[in-house]
Chain A
Amino acid sequence: MPNKASTFPEEVLEHVLSFITNDKDRNAVSVVCKSWYEIERWCRKRIFVGNCYAVRPDMVIRRFPELRSVELKGKPHFADFNLVPDSWGGYFYPWIVALATAYPWLEEIRLKRMVISDESLEVIAKSFKNFKVLVLSSCEGFSTDGLSAIAAGCRNLRELDLRESEVDDPSGQWLNSFPDSFTSLVSLNISCLGAELSFSALERLVGQCPDLNNLQLNHAVPVERLAKLIRQAPQLVELGTGEFSAKLQPEIFSNLAGAFSVCKELRSLSGFWDVNPAYLPAVYPVCSGLTSLNLRYANIKSADLNKLVSQCPNLQRLWVLDYIEDVGLEALAACCKDLTELRVFPSDPFAAEPNVSLTERGLVSVSEGCPKLQSVLYFCRQMTNAALVTVAKNRPSMTCFRLCIIEPQAPDYQTLQPLDLGFGAIVENYKDLRRLSLSGLLTDRVFEYIGTYGKKIEMLSVAFAGDSDLGLHHVLYGCERLCKLEIRDCSFGDKALLANAAKLETMRSLWMSSCSVSFGACKLLGQKMPRLNVEVIDERGPPESRPESYPVEKLYIYRTIAGPRLDMPGFVWTMDADSVSRFS
């Protein structure tokens, strides 16, 4: 009942909430007061759980009875760098079993870095009558059998997206499991699959789904098959090609060019596995409309790349290998004034000598020429403080800046100084910076800058940097919005961690591997902070078999209301009050 001072009647709130969909806003609304908490939980349709171990499925179900969409994340980000051992965790099965019973009307499941079995996929297929969206990003543990079950069982499926998942796919026949009556597909991303697909099934599927606007094929789809597929779906907005490597045959080329010229709606291109540059002109008809181009796997060399990119003046997002070189980035800066996101990946990171001419100059050109640039991921082999300062001053609107200098602890190659000043300028000028990755030679000083200026940083990645605990202390003490912190190979120890223990409860997670945090400190932290799970990951054997002062191999700390998890493998120990008494 609204009290007489309240100017916000409850029935009004329900209407208003239907227009508030952003997770952060919903979370804010839910803790305003008791009545809003209640109304909000009954109205919540979508939930995002950034760490699947932060909460138990039954807790989510109890609080939010009307969910239609669930998004979960499992393993920590450093799993992408092979730093999280296999079978660490992140299992979806306990979740799906609970969700299946609680939400018969669930429509959407989005998972990232989780382990999903075929059995889980079967549960999805038979439990939700109106299931529409399945996105499995960087997941593993399932095969095309599970996909068959989804195809056969989800009659209203709109989106099936397997981006970068590891799928065991013995057969390409699973596409045949989509029934003839199935027409609802809007988005299909199977680019991660290894095996050859059944082309007839693929063609049939594309042909019978008139609303299909996103199709990402795998590399097993040869260029000669592409034209036919595209012609069946001229309404495509996003396309990921298969391989482009066949020897040039004029017939195939003209067929392909003709097919592309029919796709008036195409805005995003990706794929391009293994490219024969002679085929590239076939896509020129669509280039002027492209806003997103993903050439992450395309072994296209500089000259051909430049030709392609210079045809795309409306580009907003470009992912490319370092074959683009400084020259190409300069051309990009001149041509693509709407560019907001740039990612430059290393073509041969393990080569002793640079194989391409990509340096700090490329980054500087783009920062000078692209006024809307907000997000950068840049792998390179050399950097200077001066270049970073220039980049910092040119683009104050940057929100995500990730610089990966390939050689660990590489200094400013001109002055041989640490890159503290350069990154200091970055955090000082980028007032809205939310995500930052550091590299190169860095002392504690850079962390002092980050703690002082990085007030909006939510995610920070650190490797081979800093001198002492002061570095870690600056970050934990100063970065008010810090949510995820991941550190590897830095000389950070116990003191900063223990002194800032309370800060850890305000963050989603902290990862530290190959640092100097002792087992004793982990025990203490786990014992005294019941709302944290302090996981010691150590493949050398039980930590109590070594002295307490001995550093642990890997440490993963995350806040949780679910208590210690029960599905840990033998090389993971949770430090809590009980385990501490067991250890001592």
Chain B
Amino acid sequence: MSEVDMAVVKPEMMRSYIWIQTTDGAVQQVEQEVAMFCPVICQEVIQKGMGSSKNYAISLPQRVGTSMFSLILDYCRFHQVPGRSNKERKSFDEKFVRVDTKRLCELTSAAESLQLKPLVDLTSRALARIIEGKTPEEIREIFHLPDDLTEEEKLEPLKNTTDDPRIRLLNRLYAKKRKELREREKLKNVEAEEEHVDDRSVDDLLSFINGGDGDSKGMKTSKNRKKHQKRKDRQKCAPEMHKKESNVFSSLCHNAKDDLELQSSLRETLKLQDAADVIFSPTVEYEDVDIDGEIDPALKEEIDREVEDFARILNSDWPERMQELLSLGQERRPAQLSINGNGNGNLKRYGTLFPKP
């Protein structure tokens, strides 16, 4: 209906409309009762007398795009009808927020600019439900957010990965051994055959591994640290606000170097000759290694055997494995049990078995 037409129509037939200009420049008329549901529009009309004609159309805030405004009008059109039951309103609301997350965000933003609190709460709650129970990675993915915090800034536990760390571990172990051997070869002129043997063993070993559960936390530590070291280097200067936080956490920077020292002292402590030790040491990182003493071929073979034992133990059937584990356990038992208290007699010394009443 053009303005001229409207002027000709009898007043009783006329519904009141409010003129609104959307951000794309277009002007539209919106039923008064619907538009006035938005506090900001309401304010413009009442306090500033805007919206009564095309020339005095109310300009919407920048965050209210045309398509968003249309959705918001749907919302207002439904809810401004007084006779609706709570059940009806709830049902409408549930359907209304079944849109993609991008749209939900835009709606929240637009509703907020129009100060339409019920809609802000509705869409915010819907977004909250999407976020609840998710990991930070999942949240980043859903909302396309950058992963720009350094590891030091994250006060969260080191994460576990789903790719099999035992493969990586064994590859590393073998890479390390190969490197050692290559160095020894250069010094001692050992045949290249041994290197070849190594490769074959790696392949054999890999065939044992069928992927599974369990993670090696140490692996992820090193991977994370390396990744974030690089990212830290590339990062731009953090703004003032972030500097405060970084100072707190920068002192905690646990760099990869410490791990090398840990690994080599562990090797001293654990004494590689003990077969069972290799079962445990895999969770510690093996990067560049300081090798203490000579490695002779006999020891190398023993190490190969130990690693194969490890892989076999991890992947063999239960009964077989139980036998091995139990027999390993039995070796230790006499040494450890004598240290424990003998139960009841020493209850007072060793505390109670039951919580204080």
Footprint of B on A, CB under 8 Å? 3, 5-9, 11-12, 15-20, 22, 25, 27-29, 31-34, 36-38, 59, 62-63, 78, 80-83, 297, 346, 349, 379, 404, 406, 408-409, 443-445, 448, 451-452, 455, 463-464, 467-470, 473, 477-478, 480, 488-491, 493-496, 498-503, 505-507, 513-514, 516, 520-521, 524, 528, 530-531, 551, 561
Residue pair A32, B136 in contact (C-beta under 8 Å): yes
Using A33-B140, A499-B280, A500-B283 as known contacts, say yes or no to A531 and B332 having CB atoms under 8 A apart. no
* Chain A hits for B128, CB < 8 A: 16-17, 19-20
Using A8-B105, A15-B112, A16-B131 as known contacts, say yes or no to A81 and B354 having CB atoms under 8 A apart. yes
Bound: A443/B128 CA distance, A: 45
Within 8 Å by CB of A495, from B270, B333, B335, lies: B270
Within 8 Å by CB of B254, from A3, A9, A531, lies: A531
- Tell me the residues in window 243-280 of chain B with beta carbons closer than 8 Å to chain A beta carbons: 244-245, 248-249, 252, 254, 258, 261-262, 265-266, 269-270, 276-277, 279-280
A-B contact pairs, 9 of them (CB 8 A): A12-B124, A16-B124, A82-B352, A445-B326, A451-B214, A468-B331, A477-B214, A494-B269, A528-B261
Residue pair B144, A63 in contact (C-beta under 8 Å): no
Bound: A490/B106 CA distance, A: 58
* Chain B hits for A463, CB < 8 A: 353
Using A7-B143, A467-B329 as known contacts, say yes or no to A499 and B282 having CB atoms under 8 A apart. yes
A449 nearest in chain B by CB position = B318
Shortest C-beta distance, A154 to chain B (Å), equals 29
Interface check B299, CB cutoff 8 A: no
14 more contacts with CB within 8 A, not counting A28-B131, A499-B266, are A8-B143, A12-B127, A16-B128, A22-B132, A31-B155, A34-B146, A80-B355, A480-B215, A491-B340, A499-B282, A499-B284, A502-B283, A505-B221, A530-B258
Q: How large is the interface on B (under 10, 10 to 19, 20 to 34, 35 or more residues)?
A: 35 or more
* Chain B hits for A513, CB < 8 A: 350-351
A530 nearest in chain B by CB position = B254
Residue pair B339, A551 in contact (C-beta under 8 Å): yes
Bound: A52/B108 CA distance, A: 38
Footprint of A on B, CB under 8 Å? 63, 101-102, 105-106, 108-109, 112, 120-121, 124-125, 127-128, 131-136, 139-140, 143-149, 153-158, 160, 213-218, 221, 241-242, 244-245, 248-249, 252, 254, 258, 261-262, 265-266, 269-270, 276-277, 279-284, 322, 325-326, 328-333, 335-337, 339-341, 343, 350-357
Bound: A38/B240 CA distance, A: 12
Residue pair B109, A516 in contact (C-beta under 8 Å): no
A33 nearest in chain B by CB position = B145
Within 8 Å by CB of B109, from A9, A404, A444, lies: A9
Contact residues of B: prevailing secondary structure: helix
Residue pair A480, B160 in contact (C-beta under 8 Å): yes
Shortest C-beta distance, A475 to chain B (Å), equals 11
Residue pair A33, B245 in contact (C-beta under 8 Å): no
Residue pair A62, B244 in contact (C-beta under 8 Å): yes
* Chain B hits for A38, CB < 8 A: 241-242
Bound: A6/B145 CA distance, A: 6
Using A36-B145, A83-B351, A506-B158 as known contacts, say yes or no to A468 and B333 having CB atoms under 8 A apart. yes
Within 8 Å by CB of B336, from A501, A516, A524, lies: A516
Interface centre among B63, B134, B356 (most CB of A within 10 A): B356
Residue pair A506, B280 in contact (C-beta under 8 Å): no
Shortest C-beta distance, A75 to chain B (Å), equals 12
* Chain A hits for B350, CB < 8 A: 83, 488-489, 513-514
A164 nearest in chain B by CB position = B356
* Chain B hits for A505, CB < 8 A: 157-158, 217, 221
Using A11-B109, A468-B328 as known contacts, say yes or no to A528 and B343 having CB atoms under 8 A apart. no
Residue pair B341, A455 in contact (C-beta under 8 Å): no
* Chain A hits for B108, CB < 8 A: 12, 15-16
Residue pair A8, B270 in contact (C-beta under 8 Å): no
Residue pair A455, B277 in contact (C-beta under 8 Å): no
B153 nearest in chain A by CB position = A37
Residue pair A28, B277 in contact (C-beta under 8 Å): no
